[in-house]
Amino acid sequence: MTGYLGSYATLGLLLIAAVLFFVTAFSANRVLRPARAAEPWGKRTSYECGLDPVGGDWAQMQIRYYVYAYLYVLFAVEAVFLFPWALVFDRPGFGATTVVEMGVFVAVVALGILYAWRRGVLRWT
């Protein structure tokens, strides 16, 4: 399809095909499913590794788990930032600038970890 509206026609055909696929899939699901689903014993009970559930369904999480997860994400993001830095580092004219920028970045992250360590957040008790 060429011309000014050719790309819109292609997009329209693609949208029509997507809607037809969606309707066909859900119609096939409705036709092929059982009329009345079986309800086996224990289907709606909670599952704990093949054992009967123990206790209630409400359990509080310690905040330290979230702190460790946050620190993991922080270091993962730092690692993601280190890879492009390593690629640009060896290009001419980028050496000193990139070392200073990464030094500032790592220093800010290190100060955050030092602060958390001094406040006792990283202590597992």
Q: What is the pLDDT of residues 32-45, one digit of tens each?
A: 987 776 777 666 66
pLDDT tens for 71-86 read 788 778 877 877 877 7
Q: Residue 34 corresponds to which tokens in the numbers above?
A: 């059982």
Query: Do the beta carbons of residue 80 and residue 72 sit within 8 Å?
Result: no
Cα–Cα distance measured from residue 81 to residue 103, given in angstroms and rounded to the nearest whole number: 12
The residue that leads in pLDDT, 103 or 15, is: 15
Q: For residue 28, is pLDDT > 90? A: yes
Cα–Cα distance measured from residue 89 to residue 99, given in angstroms and rounded to the nearest whole number: 8
